[in-house]
């Protein structure tokens, strides 16, 4: 299998080396990366990684989305790729024992995946994730301690990447993205939620080659290189100026507030939930959930005004 024809395996790829983004994203599809990682694990060329999944102030929708993974699925992640050390949603242990498991990861070699935003207001009291040695632990404490010691930090979803909905105005609990509280690089996987392939592909890439090629805002280029608009199956309607006036129509929804033109992500070719559908195919607007600035910069999500000329 060829990955980057111009580079050796392990080389970092610069943006300028990219040719056709569509081809690139196909070449580096998650399934192929995971297949290769698994092959190397089976042949003892690669070790399973320790993975800590830290939930902060959010909706826990990213772990739910990860459970929706298919080829590779969650069982594969758990049994073949990673030692999942911690997940508030899934851990069998509870209480003190659970917190011990979390903090015992420090000192080992692990990858930290974070979902949810970091609440900074009032020393982080709006997000208490457990009690360790009797003391309440804020999400802010936990992400600082675990983030500084991790081999890689991955912000999974909009809230962890840039605050997302948890930081929507007036941001009552002072939420920010993980990168704003750590003095280190954080790989950003914005999206509400994060597609399971974006996470699994990133993890497999790290295991095989180290950090994947990232754009200037630390998003993996293999998923985030191209706008929805550039690959939208309804693009020809946009070019011809044929616009929908209500949902359920099969033409371009730009005038109803579709944020495809500013949202860099691969939804049109990847699609969701076993690759069966995605918002535009479902006759609905893209609300820009995978773009920085979501939700405030993407509002109003939907409007009927522009088509009525109000």
| 212 forms part of the interface with other proteins (CB under 8 A) | no
- Site track for other proteins across 277-296, x = CB under 8 A: xxx-xxxxx-x-x-----x-
Interface residue with other proteins, options 13, 33, 49, 85 (CB under 8 A):
85
| 31 forms part of the interface with other proteins (CB under 8 A) | no
| 180 forms part of the interface with other proteins (CB under 8 A) | no
**308 token code pair:** 């009525």
Interface residue with other proteins, options 128, 151, 181, 269 (CB under 8 A):
128
For other proteins, the binding residues in 255-274 under the rule CB under 8 A are: 272-274
Helix (H, G, I), strand (E, B) or coil at 253: coil
Interface residue with other proteins, options 93, 106, 242, 297 (CB under 8 A):
93
38: exposed, middle or buried (C-beta count within 10 Å: 0-12, 13-18, 19+)?
middle
| Only segment of 10-18, 24-32, 70-78, 223-231 that touches other proteins (CB under 8 A) | 70-78
In this structure, the strands spanning 152-156 and 110-115 are parallel
CA distance 149 to 104: 11
CA distance 275 to 16: 30
23: exposed, middle or buried (C-beta count within 10 Å: 0-12, 13-18, 19+)?
exposed
Which residue is associated with the tokens 């936990």? Answer: 142
Contact 142, 98 (CB under 8 A): no
| 3 forms part of the interface with other proteins (CB under 8 A) | no
Q: Minimum CB separation from other proteins for residue 275, in Å?
A: 9
138 sits in which H/E element: strand 135-138
Could you please report the per-residue DSSP string of 44-55? Answer: TSSPPEEEEEEE
Which residue is associated with the tokens 């049994």? Answer: 79
Interface residue with other proteins, options 25, 30, 65, 161 (CB under 8 A):
65
| 78 forms part of the interface with other proteins (CB under 8 A) | yes
| 172 forms part of the interface with other proteins (CB under 8 A) | yes
- Closest CB to other proteins among 119 and 226? 119
| 145 forms part of the interface with other proteins (CB under 8 A) | no
| 309 forms part of the interface with other proteins (CB under 8 A) | no
- Closest CB to other proteins among 13 and 194? 194
For other proteins, the binding residues in 216-255 under the rule CB under 8 A are: 245-249
Pick the closest to residue 191 from 284, 118, 285, 115 (CA basis). 115
| 74 forms part of the interface with other proteins (CB under 8 A) | yes
| 57 forms part of the interface with other proteins (CB under 8 A) | yes
**Helices 30-42 and 196-209 meet at what angle, rounded to 10?**
40
CA distance 121 to 250: 45
**224 token code pair:** 């985030």
| 70 forms part of the interface with other proteins (CB under 8 A) | yes
| 207 forms part of the interface with other proteins (CB under 8 A) | no
Interface residue with other proteins, options 17, 38, 68, 145 (CB under 8 A):
68
Contact 253, 243 (CB under 8 A): yes
**60 token code pair:** 């826990």
Q: Minimum CB separation from other proteins for residue 48, in Å?
A: 10
Interface residue with other proteins, options 164, 177, 212, 268 (CB under 8 A):
164
Which residue is associated with the tokens 């092959």? Answer: 39
| 27 forms part of the interface with other proteins (CB under 8 A) | no
Q: Is the peptide bond before 300 cis (omega within 30 degrees of 0)?
A: yes
- Closest CB to other proteins among 13 and 127? 127
Interface residue with other proteins, options 25, 30, 87, 291 (CB under 8 A):
87
């Amino acid at each position: 299998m060829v990955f980057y024809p111009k580079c050796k395996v392990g080389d970092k790829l610069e943006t300028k080396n990219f040719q056709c983004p569509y081809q690139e994203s196909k070449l580096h599809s998650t399934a192929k990366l995971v297949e290769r990682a698994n092959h190397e694990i089976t042949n003892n060329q690669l070790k399973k990684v320790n993975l800590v999944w830290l939930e902060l102030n959010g909706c826990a929708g990213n772990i739910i989305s990860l459970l929706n993974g298919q080829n590779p699925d969650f069982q594969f992640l758990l049994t073949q790729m990673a030692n999942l050390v911690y997940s508030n949603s899934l851990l069998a242990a509870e209480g003190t024992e659970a917190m011990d498991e979390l903090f015992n990861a420090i000192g080992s070699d692990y990858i930290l995946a974070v979902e949810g935003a970091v609440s900074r207001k009032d020393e982080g009291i709006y997000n208490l994730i457990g009690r360790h040695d009797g003391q309440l632990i804020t999400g802010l404490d936990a992400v600082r301690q675990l983030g500084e010691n991790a081999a890689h930090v991955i912000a999974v979803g909009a809230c962890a990447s840039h605050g997302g909905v948890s930081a929507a105005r007036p941001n009552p609990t002072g939420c920010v993205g993980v990168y704003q509280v750590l003095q280190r690089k954080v790989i950003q996987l914005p999206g509400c939620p994060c597609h399971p392939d974006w996470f699994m592909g990133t993890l497999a890439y790290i295991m095989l080659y180290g950090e994947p090629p990232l754009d200037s805002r630390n998003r993996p280029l293999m998923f985030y290189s191209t706008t929805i608009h550039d690959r939208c199956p309804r693009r020809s309607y946009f070019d011809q100026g044929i616009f929908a006036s209500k949902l359920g129509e099969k033409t371009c929804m730009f005038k109803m507030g579709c944020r495809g033109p500013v949202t860099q992500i691969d939804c049109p070719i990847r699609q969701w939930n076993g690759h069966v559908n995605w918002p535009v195919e479902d006759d609905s607007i893209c609300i820009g959930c995978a773009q920085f600035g979501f939700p405030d910069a993407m509002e109003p999500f939907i409007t009927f005004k522009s088509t009525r000329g109000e």
